[in-house]
Structure 1
Amino acid sequence: MLKGKVALITGSTSGIGLAAAHVLAEQGINLVLHGLMSNQEGTALAENFTQQYKINTTFSNADLRDPDSIHTFIDNAITKMGSIDILINNAGIQHTESAINFPLNKWNDIIAINLSASFHTIQKSLPSMQKNKWGRIINIASVHGLVGSVNKSAYCAAKHGIVGLTKVVALENAEQGITVNSICPGWVDTPLINDQIKAISEKENLDFEDAKYNLVTAKQPLPEMMNPRQIGEFILFLCSDSARSITGSSLPMDGAWTAQ
Structure 2
Amino acid sequence: MSLSGKTAIVTGSNSGIGLGVAHELARAGADVVLNSFTDRDEDHKLAEEMAAQHGVKVRYIKADMSSGEECRALIEKAGACDILVNNAGIQHVARIDEFPVAKWDAIIAINLSSAFHTTAAALPVMRKAGWGRIVNIASAHGLTASPFKSAYVAAKHGIVGFTKVTALETAEEPITCNAICPGYVLTPLVEAQIPDQMKTHNMDRETVIREVMLDRQPSKEFATVEEIGGTAVFLCSDAAKQITGTTISVDGGWTAL
Instruction: Map 1:141-152 to 2 at 5 A.
Output: 141-152=138-149
Contact between 1:198 and 1:211, CA under 8 Å: does it hold in 2? Answer: no
Partner of 1:35: 36
| CA RMSD, Structure 1 to Structure 2 (Å) | 1.7
Letter in 2 for 1:246: I
Letter in 2 for 1:117: S
The TM-score, its normalising length taken from structure 1, stands at 0.92
* Offset at residue 107 of structure 1 (A): 0.9
Q: Deviations over 1:168-227 (max 9, x none)?
A: 000000111000000001110114445765664444233454333223442111111011
Aligned equivalents of 1:147 and 1:135: distance in 2?
29
Q: Deviations over 1:138-167 (max 9, x none)?
A: 000000000010111011000000000000
Q: Deviations over 1:105-132 (max 9, x none)?
A: 1111111111000111100000011112
Unpaired segments ≥5 residues, structure 1: none
SS at match of 2:180: strand
Which region of structure 1 is more displaced relative to structure 2, 111-120 or 49-58?
A: 49-58
Contact between 2:37 and 2:65, CA under 8 Å: does it hold in 1? Answer: no
Classify 1:84/1:27 alpha carbon distance in 2 versus 1 (closer, same or farther; 3 Å): same
Which region of structure 1 is more displaced relative to structure 2, 64-73 or 165-174?
A: 64-73
Pair 1:245 & 2:242 matched: yes
Letter in 1 for 2:24: V
Q: Deviations over 1:41-100 (max 9, x none)?
A: 22211112222222221112211111111122211111xxxx200000111111111111
Partner of 2:182: 185
How many pairs were matched up?
A: 256
Partner of 2:161: 164
Partner of 2:117: 120
Aligned equivalents of 1:47 and 1:242: distance in 2?
30
Partner of 1:18: 19
Contact between 2:184 and 2:214, CA under 8 Å: does it hold in 1? Answer: no
Partner of 2:218: 221
Q: Deviations over 1:5-58 (max 9, x none)?
A: 000001111111111111111122101001244342222111122222222211
Pair 1:62 & 2:63 matched: yes
Classify 1:5/1:174 alpha carbon distance in 2 versus 1 (closer, same or farther; 3 Å): same
Letter in 1 for 2:173: Q
